[in-house]
Amino acid sequence: MKNFILPIEKLIASFSKLPGVGRKTAIRYAYYIINSPASDVRNFAQTMVDAKETVHYCSVCGNFTDRDICEVCTRGDRTLVCVVAEPKDILALERVADYNGTYHVLHGLINPLEGVTPNDIRIKELLTRVSLDHVREVIMATNPTVEGEATAIYISNLLKPLGVKVTRIAQGVSLGTDIEYVDEVTLTRALEDRREI
């Protein structure tokens, strides 16, 4: 038999769409599902549907939440905002114990080569927040890559006329390193040594 029967082939195709999953792994996953008890498979599918239906962007910061306003925005200082590219960057920064501000997730970085313009990421929402919440400082914590730097500079140019202090986390981090993989000590120092841009 050259091909899998259609229901299995469809399952393999679905698993192949997951990040880091090649066809070989997708086939293994498909057989795992077929061999699992029906109730387990139903629960698994329902967990995915539930997560997809209940998780959305926080109406303030854009982080994932199952409420209207996320926990960090509820308890944090909203006049101090740390700007990150993705929700996963918040997890890393939250390990820095003495930061009591809030975050703003851009959900991407400006990248002209891939057609990502300033309108495609959540910059408008940041500007609205800055005036509504009387933000005193915006810390740019995008990764130290070409796109991360360009986005930081672009946003800082928009914010400066509004009288907001804009800072950039210190680059104790080597070029191209993802913030999510940086250790606590380095990240704490990077935040403490932030400089105005």
Judged by CB under 5 A, does residue 60 bind Zn ion?
yes
Closest among 151, 132, 155, 131 to 143, alpha carbons compared? 151
73 binds Zn ion (CB under 5 A): yes
Give every CB contact of residue 141 below 8 A, 6+ residues apart in sequence. 82, 83, 84, 89, 93, 169, 179, 191
* Residue 82 in the binding site for Zn ion (CB under 5 A): no
C-alpha 172/C-alpha 80 separation (Å) is 22
- Can you state the angle between helices 87-94 and 184-192, rounded to 10 degrees? 90
Minimum Å gap between C-beta 97 and Zn ion is 19
Say whether residue 85 binds Zn ion (CB under 5 A).
no
Compute how many other C-beta atoms are within 10 angstroms of the C-beta atom of residue 87. 19
Q: What is the DSSP letter of 115?
A: T
CA distances to 60, 72, 85, 118, 190 from 178, in Å: 24, 22, 11, 21, 13
Rule CB under 5 A: is residue 84 a binding residue for Zn ion? no
Q: Which of 70, 123, 155, 182 binds Zn ion (CB under 5 A)?
A: 70
- The residue from 11, 58, 130, 155 that contacts Zn ion (CB under 5 A) is 58
Residue number with CB closer to Zn ion (63 or 167): 63
Of 21-29, 61-69, 77-85, 131-139: span binding Zn ion (CB under 5 A): 61-69
Interaction between residue 61 and Zn ion (CB under 5 A): yes
Rg (CA), the chain: 21
């066809």: which residue's tokens? 23
Q: Which is nearer to Zn ion, 62 or 148 (CB)?
A: 62
> Minimum Å distance from CB 170 to Zn ion?
25
81 binds Zn ion (CB under 5 A): no
Contact range with Zn ion by CB under 5 A, out of 14-22, 41-49, 69-77, 92-100: 69-77
Positions touching Zn ion (CB under 5 A) are 58, 60-61, 63, 70, 73
